[in-house]
């Protein structure tokens, strides 16, 4: 028993096994094998290394976005003139990556808390019995008092009076001048894995250039100042259409960088996508079209609290930063090569199947490839006995 264990340990450490190989001279099998190997080689070189960049490690960026709007608008509604600046038409005003530019509005001035008839179509009635006192309607403006106002045939409500009438949206939009507003985007990205920080104000973008440039996909693709009308056009929308009822546009800042070359070649690309707000097409069938919200400005008049209600229609801009940086790394390179070498084994498997199961001489090839032994008739000590006998004779 001790000798068997010693022999087993000795064989494990001091013997080497190699698979038996058979050289088959067959044109069909040889061509199939080489074609498969060429296909695998093309996959490794073309797909893994060239297309997927399997020799590089990747990292995504940590980014920040700062925006600034410029431009002045003018309206004249029923003889009331007004100039609108950035503080009036941008929400929120902090310069976030997601903001709204007002392009149209409905204003209800001088509202105060009191009792007044509900808007037509919100809660119609023929008698007081149709108006349940103390109840609310989801689309109404306030709490019903239980009184039916005869001259309007609507229920009386406790609300901010007079109630807002938003049935008629101004057309054309009141702030069509927003088409000429400009948007400045300042974006910085950091790839922490590679320790690289970049800004969209790349080499050559200085104060003099910014003061005179305007973004154009062909002539000035790196200019960070955008005209709103151009953004809407590049997103596939009509400015007058989207300005009337509002919508949403996505501005994608794409940082796809190969850091194996000089870092100055890492530059952003700007893409524009219309996300929502094209009522001229399929949006007509939808229940809600466009983008709008309300806000109120409260004030005191003769010791009575009043407010001016604004229903704002605008274009929402969402600035989205996409990033992917690549750089050579020996670990993914060796991993890609190792997996490719492993795939080469497919050729051996396919050729073995052809040899052993499809060719006319498959039995001959089986006998050449496999060595058969009969374990029932073989004496396990015969080899050792013959060795010992030959040693004693010597």
pLDDT of residue 20: 67
pLDDT of residue 74: 93
pLDDT of residue 391 exceeding 60: no
Supply the range of the domain harboring residue 234. Answer: 62-99+178-288+314-327
Same domain, 84 and 206: yes
pLDDT of residue 280: 52
| Alpha helices for the chain (secondary structure H) | 2-14, 27-42, 86-89, 207-212, 228-234, 239-245, 330-343, 345-357, 362-369, 382-393
Is 164:309 a contact under the CB 8 Å cutoff? Answer: yes
Q: What is the DSSP letter of 264?
A: G
For residue 347, tell me if it sits in a domain: yes
For residue 108, tell me if it sits in a domain: no
Work out the pLDDT band at 375, boundaries 50, 70, 90: low
For residue 27, tell me if it sits in a domain: yes
pLDDT of residue 394: 43
CATH number of the domain that 236 lies in? 2.60.490.10
Cα-based torsion angle of the residue sequence 325, 329, 334, 339 in order, rounded to the nearest 10 degrees: -10
pLDDT of residue 385: 42
Task: Compute how many other C-beta atoms are within 10 angstroms of the C-beta atom of residue 244.
Answer: 23
Same domain, 254 and 351: no
Q: Angle at which helices 362-369 and 345-357 pack, to 10 degrees? A: 130
Work out the pLDDT band at 383, boundaries 50, 70, 90: very low
Is 4:12 a contact under the CB 8 Å cutoff? Answer: no
Spacing of C-alpha 193 from chain mean position:
21
Residue carrying structure tokens 């209800």? 108
pLDDT of residue 348: 80
For residue 166, tell me if it sits in a domain: no
For residue 152, tell me if it sits in a domain: no
Cα-based torsion angle of the residue sequence 270, 49, 329, 323 in order, rounded to the nearest 10 degrees: 10
Number of domains in the chain: 2
Same domain, 90 and 44: no
pLDDT tens, position by position, 189-243: 999 999 999 999 998 888 899 989 999 999 999 999 999 999 999 998 989 989 9
pLDDT of residue 374: 59
Same domain, 84 and 226: yes
Same domain, 182 and 322: yes
pLDDT of residue 380 exceeding 60: no
Same domain, 267 and 318: yes
DSSP states of 101-124 as a string?
Answer: EEEEEEEEEEEEEEEEEPPTTTSB
For residue 113, tell me if it sits in a domain: no
Q: Round to the nearest angstrom and report the end-to-end CA distance of the chain.
A: 27
Backbone torsions φ then ψ of 109, nearest 5 degrees = -100, 155
- Structure-token pair, residue 204: 């050559």
Q: Label the pairing between strands 304-328 and 247-258.
A: parallel
Rounded to whole angstroms, how far apart are CA atoms 258 and 56?
9
Is 78:149 a contact under the CB 8 Å cutoff? Answer: no
pLDDT of residue 15: 73
Average pLDDT for 171-180: 93
Same domain, 48 and 89: no
Binding residues for ATP: 68-70, 182, 292-294, 311
CA distances from 77 to 15, 17, 74, 170, 174 (A): 98, 95, 10, 10, 8
pLDDT of residue 261: 93
pLDDT tens, position by position, 264-304: 999 999 999 988 765 455 544 466 678 999 999 999 999 99
Binding residues: 68-70, 182, 292-294, 311
Rounded to whole angstroms, how far apart are CA atoms 199 and 334?
33
For residue 308, tell me if it sits in a domain: no
- How many Cα atoms occupy the beta-carbon half-sphere of 183 within 13 Å? 29
Same domain, 222 and 319: yes
* Vertex 163 angle, CA 161 and 169, to 5°: 145
Same domain, 48 and 66: no
- What pTM, to 2 d.p., does this model score? 0.76
pLDDT of residue 355: 77
Same domain, 228 and 363: no
Same domain, 254 and 355: no
pLDDT of residue 315 exceeding 90: yes
**Burial letters 118-142, b for 16+ CB under 10 A, else e:** bbeebbebeeeeebeeeeeeeebbb
pLDDT tens, position by position, 63-92: 999 999 999 999 998 888 899 999 999 999
For residue 13, tell me if it sits in a domain: no
Cis peptide before 92 (omega within 30 of 0): yes
CA distances from 222 to 180, 195, 200, 218 (A): 20, 23, 8, 9
Is 340:334 a contact under the CB 8 Å cutoff? Answer: no
Average model confidence (pLDDT) across the chain: 86
CA distances from 388 to 4, 136, 392, 394 (A): 16, 107, 6, 10
- Structure-token pair, residue 191: 């790839």
CATH number of the domain that 358 lies in? 1.10.287.940
pLDDT tens, position by position, 111-152: 999 999 998 888 889 999 989 888 888 888 899 999 999 888
Same domain, 78 and 192: yes
Average pLDDT for 90-95: 87
CA nearest neighbour of 200 among 388, 64, 349, 348: 64
pLDDT tens, position by position, 15-54: 776 666 777 777 888 888 888 889 888 988 898 888 888 8
pLDDT of residue 386: 41
């Amino acid at each position: 028993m001790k000798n068997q264990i010693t022999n087993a340990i000795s064989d494990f450490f001091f013997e080497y096994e190699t698979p038996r190989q058979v050289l088959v001279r067959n044109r069909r099998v040889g061509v199939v094998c080489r074609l498969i190997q060429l296909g695998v080689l093309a996959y490794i070189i073309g797909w893994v290394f060239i297309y997927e960049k399997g020799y590089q490690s990747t990292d995504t960026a940590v980014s920040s976005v700062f925006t600034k709007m410029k431009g002045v608008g003018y309206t004249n509604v029923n003889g009331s003139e007004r100039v609108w600046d950035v503080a009036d038409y941008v929400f929120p005003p902090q310069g976030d990556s997601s903001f709204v530019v007002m392009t149209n509005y409905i204003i209800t001035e001088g509202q105060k808390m009191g009792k007044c008839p509900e808007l037509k179509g919100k809660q119609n009635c023929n008698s007081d019995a149709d108006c349940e006192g103390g109840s609310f309607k989801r689309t109404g403006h306030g709490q019903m008092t239980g009184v039916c106002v005869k001259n309007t045939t609507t229920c009386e409500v406790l609300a901010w009076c007079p109630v807002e009438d938003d049935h008629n949206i101004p057309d054309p939009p009141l702030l069509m001048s927003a088409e000429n507003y400009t948007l400045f985007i300042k974006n910085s990205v950091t790839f922490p894995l590679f320790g690289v920080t970049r800004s969209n104000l790349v080499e050559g973008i200085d104060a003099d250039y910014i003061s005179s440039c305007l973004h154009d996909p062909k002539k000035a693709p790196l200019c960070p100042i955008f005209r709103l009308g151009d953004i809407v056009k590049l997103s596939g929308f009509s400015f007058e259409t989207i300005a009337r009822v509002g919508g949403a546009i996505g501005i994608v800042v794409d940082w796809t960088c190969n850091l194996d070359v000089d870092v100055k070649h890492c530059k952003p690309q700007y893409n524009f996508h219309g996300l929502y707000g094209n009522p001229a097409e399929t949006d007509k069938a939808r229940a809600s079209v466009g983008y709008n919200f309300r806000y109120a400005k409260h004030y005191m008049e003769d010791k009575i609290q009043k407010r001016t209600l604004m229903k704002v229609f605008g274009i929402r801009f969402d600035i989205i930063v996409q990033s992917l940086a690549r750089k050579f790394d020996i670990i993914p390179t060796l991993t890609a090569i190792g997996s490719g070498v492993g795939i080469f084994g497919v050729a051996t498997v396919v050729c073995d199947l052809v040899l052993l199961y499809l060719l006319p001489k498959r039995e001959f090839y089986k006998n050449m490839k496999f060595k058969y032994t009969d374990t029932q008739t073989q004496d396990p000590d015969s080899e050792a006995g013959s060795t010992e006998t030959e040693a004693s004779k010597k």
